[in-house]
Structure 1
Amino acid sequence: MAAETNRVSIETVHIQTLPPSRSSADRRAEPIPGAAPQDNFENRTADVSQCSVADDNNGEPRYSGFFSPGLASVRRQYFLIIARAVLLISVLIWVSAPVYWGALSNSAKRSKNLEAWFIDRDQSRIGQAIWQAFKNNTLPGPHLNWLSMDPLAMGDDSSVSGLIAEEHAWVAVVIEANTTTTLTNARVNGDKNYDPASAIKMFYSQARNEIATANYIVPITTNLLQFTTSAYATSSAQRYFAQIRGTGDTNDTAVQMIAQAPQTISPAISWSVVNVRPYTAPAAQAVTLVGNIYLCIYAFMITMATATARDLISPHMQFLPMSYALVSMAFHIPFSAKFSEGGGFMLFFCYIYLGMAALGLSMESMITILTPRFAPFFLFILIIYNISPVVLPSELQAPFYRYGDGFPIRNLSQALRTIMFNTKSSLGRNAAVLVAWIIMSCATMTIFTWLIRRREHVRLRRIAEVDSSGSKKDSQEEQK
């Protein structure tokens, strides 16, 4: 009899202490669909603890397990929350992850999209032999798109350097004038001062994209030059030794000249490298790539912090970009490559401010219709779709990633590279894209706010009509 009384007591406690159903307003504030608000967590914990404990006749507590029949409704709600969260995250993964994976895949196969210039000022045996090797390159691995350029149109070395800095091509290989004649004279005269590296110059801009230059531009060009110069040195030495032996007698004078200047035989010709825009600050990668992810997160944090007080967002968003810029200065990010140190820093700050405003206001706009519980999903999509076009040059990515030209982070990264390394300047276009995002976000925020308010007014009007009709019926029944 005591056991039956105890079982009835437990079931009664279970039934009485189940959490009540929540209103639609509560559900709208949940971080994940179906989850309870944070401020009710302690109450719900207390309710569950009450429904799982009961005193038996001896005063000892009794605990019910997770699969207790009394927790059926709570357990059902728990699994519903988990299922919805897993579904939403799975959709998010398939929407965003393939974009980033695709940005990095097959880049080696697209290396032929990287334009490279071959400029032959020699117009003789060395220049012609090396161009044929470049044009008919059969080396394994990725290749560049080599174009033979008119040496008169390209100008001198300083002109070529400027064209590479302005990003007309990724790399330029220049065969200097009279290279063949200079090598021949050095062999004949035993010129000790002959420098094989003066025959060829390679121009490239590392700061244009340090990943592409390190993985493709420099290795491919270096391997090709190593192969062609070695092959030419071997064939040239064979021809020269055959020439000095003539009728079978060795030309002692020629041999003596070779011994005096052995570099005319090996390596005979070599090259020097000119990095027109060196990537001198390794910490700059934190600003141009990874730091942009942090910038998105900072903008998201300030958006969430001011979700209920949007009129206070302006002073905060001025302080955060300045903090970001000051941190960059502390790690010796160069600001004087194109402008003065002070001017470069202020311009750096202005672009960081525009970038944070563009990202933050876009999240501010979307949070109006998504509500705070779905804001992290939009944040993840915003980061992935902005970062993917930046990790590699557009030439090494599928045409789909050209959309990055109209997105904030690509333009912000280009502007910061110009400020830090004096790369090709597109500051006007970069600022225009960022300002366009700010204007678009403000416009969509206004539209979304109006739509939400209009929907809320319609809902309240319907509730009022239902309440009015119900009160009329009650009054009529009372009169009857």
Structure 2
Amino acid sequence: MRRWRTRMLHTTRNWRREIQGCFVDDPRLRLADQLQFHYARKWCGWAYPAGYKTTQPRIDVIPFPLHQLTARDEMSTTPTPNTRPIRSLENDTGLPRTITQQSRDTMVENEQEREAARSSVWKPAEGPGSRPPAPEKFAHTIFDPKIAPLRKVYTKIILMTLALTITMMWICLPVYWGSLARSANHAPSLKAWVIDRDGGEIGQAVVQGLLATTQSGTKQHLGWVQVAADYVEDVGEAIVDEQAWGAVVVNAGATARLAAARASGNSSYSPASAITFYYSQARNEQATGSYVNPLTSAALTQILQQFNARSAAAYLSSVSGNATALQALTTAPQTLSGVWWTTNNLRPYNAPVATAITLVGQIYLVIFAFIMTMSNDAARGIFGPFLKLRSYLYLRILVPLGIYFPLSLAFAMVSLPFHAPFGAKYSYAGGFFLYFLYTYMGMCALGLATEAMVTILTPRFMAFFLIPLIISNVAVATLPFDLQPWFYKYGYGFPIFNNTTAVRTILFNTKNHLGRSAGVIIAWIVLSSITLPLFTIIMRRRDERAHKQAMLEKNGGEKGTA
């Protein structure tokens, strides 16, 4: 500063020798503020001339010979806003000037210096400590040395994002992969009943055969348990009530009816009437389609083929010389084939569109809520900082709850043109509005969770919260917990599993879990309603402290300038 001041004083003395006692009225050069003039005089150590009053009119006309500028004065290549260009006055250097005029010249130099400091574009300067040239837009290649700092920042961001994404991938994806990978090894966990109401050869053969599969040493079987004939009165109702995944019932009198049909040649005899297999497909179409039905069918096929072969051989050997019995066999040949079973699918999964509602649709629900969270965060930043804390908390909670209402209604109405079976348990209208209610609650539970976390993580890192939120919820909704390791039972407390269970009840009249599902989902809403204000208060206090610190620094700077 001392060197710069000395240079300015020498420059002023040179001007004094060249132009003494002359004021030049040139409208090209103007001073923006009288206070800057006073400050410039005081800074340079000049006294006011005799008779000068600080209350005199503002000095607007200041001549300034640009041939006196140094290299530092010419660094700015882009004019600062609200300033006027100064043209060279080399032709005016022969005019005399007074001391007051010389101080004005010094003040213009000072103003030029400040304009150069505020400029965002700099010309290249030589020497240590000089700023690099600002790159031009649309004018560089990828490996241009002029944009090396920008390329370094870009590479750093990409590599850090890549590392964080891979880390998140290895943390979250194994959770979903693990929920499916060893499901076949957990097939014995699917409890199934075998009930002998016959008490004869057929009943004994079926019970012994199914129980023997559990001792085979492999995992390709269900967890068969023999149940007394009077344990349940209505087996179908017990299966719908999810007391077991399936039940094989040897009907009463099966052995006696087969013997009577062979003896009398009853052509109306049906081998499939001997055994009934009950299961509920809509409970979980993946488990029933991949394990319950196939494994039961395979076991019964093997058991009954062996039994029918033994039974037919024994009967033929017993009636080999009986023409009447042989004649009866020709009348009812199906009796020779023995017995078979009938499958009773109590709750068929007969609406393919339900897949979009029960599982995939829940993922879309999270995505739509996430979109509204990001949009709300961007819009809230416009006027949120100007609100009081109470008003800001109302904005954070009530606005998302209001937005989710039309959004979930529109989401639910998408299923109407595709004839989703909303009338399976209730009336069609009642089922639809109940589905809409659970859709709204599910969106509130998931959306408010993202609203709470965006407060802490900021939009920059919200994608890394969305991934575990989706995977942790979907991993427990694909297969039943019986086919997964015990770890996945955390799904009982997660919203997507409970929402999916409630939707299955509405669409397929499965076991009624509406109350339990609503309780879990509402608990998530309440939890987010607590964490959201808590995080908001924490971040608001931090912002208030930063604002107060900035105001103190600003006020201190203004006082120092004054």
2: CA distance, partners of 1:344 / 1:91? 43
Which residue of 407, 423, 429 corresponds with 1:342?
429
**Which position in structure 2 is the counterpart of 1:221?**
296
Structure 2: runs of 5 or more not aligned: 1-74, 78-133, 381-395
Q: CA deviation at 1:300?
A: 0.7
Q: CA deviation at 1:72?
A: 1.7
TM-score with structure 1 length normalisation?
Answer: 0.82
Q: CA deviation at 1:463?
A: 4.5
Taking the TM superposition and a 5 Å limit, the aligned residue runs for 1:80-479 are 80-137=156-213, 138=216, 142-155=220-233, 159-245=234-320, 250-266=321-337, 268-307=338-377, 308-309=379-380, 310=396, 312-463=399-550
- Identity percentage over the alignment? 43
TM-score with structure 2 length normalisation?
Answer: 0.70
SS of structure 2 residue aligned to 1:94: helix
SS of structure 2 residue aligned to 1:359: helix
User: Structure 1 residues 70, 314: closer, same or farther in 2, change over 3 A?
Assistant: same
SS of structure 2 residue aligned to 1:306: helix
SS of structure 2 residue aligned to 1:273: strand
2: CA distance, partners of 1:72 / 1:342? 64
User: Structure 1 residues 50, 125: closer, same or farther in 2, change over 3 A?
Assistant: closer
Higher relative contact order (CA 8 A, sep 6+): 1
Letter in 2 for 1:150: A
Structure 1: runs of 5 or more not aligned: 1-14, 18-46, 53-63
Letter in 2 for 1:143: H
User: Structure 1 residues 316, 251: closer, same or farther in 2, change over 3 A?
Assistant: same
Q: CA deviation at 1:140?
A: 6.4
Number of matched residues?
413
Q: CA deviation at 1:470?
A: 7.0
Looking at secondary structure, tell me which structure has more helix per residue. Answer: 1
Letter in 2 for 1:121: R
Superposed CA offset, 1:436-468 (max 9, x none): 111111110110011111222333444556667
Superposed CA offset, 1:148-174 (max 9, x none): 00111222xxx1111111111100100
Letter in 1 for 2:351: A
Superposed CA offset, 1:398-436 (max 9, x none): 111111110110000000000111100011111111111
2: CA distance, partners of 1:233 / 1:172? 21
SS of structure 2 residue aligned to 1:213: helix
2: CA distance, partners of 1:140 / 1:284? 34
**Which position in structure 1 is the counterpart of 2:30?**
none
Q: Considering only CA atoms, is the larger Rg found in Structure 1 or Structure 2?
A: 2
1: CA distance, partners of 2:138 / 2:482? 64
Are the aligned partners of 2:135 and 2:146 in contact in 1 as well (CA < 8 Å)? no
Aligned-residue Cα RMSD (Å) equals 2.1
Q: CA deviation at 1:471?
A: 7.5
2: CA distance, partners of 1:139 / 1:264? 35
Q: CA deviation at 1:242?
A: 2.3
Are the aligned partners of 2:187 and 2:219 in contact in 1 as well (CA < 8 Å)? no
Superposed CA offset, 1:322-364 (max 9, x none): 1111111111111111111111111111000000111111100
Q: Bigger CA drift: 401-410 or 255-264? A: 255-264
Letter in 2 for 1:340: S
Letter in 1 for 2:312: A
SS of structure 2 residue aligned to 1:272: strand
Letter in 2 for 1:286: A
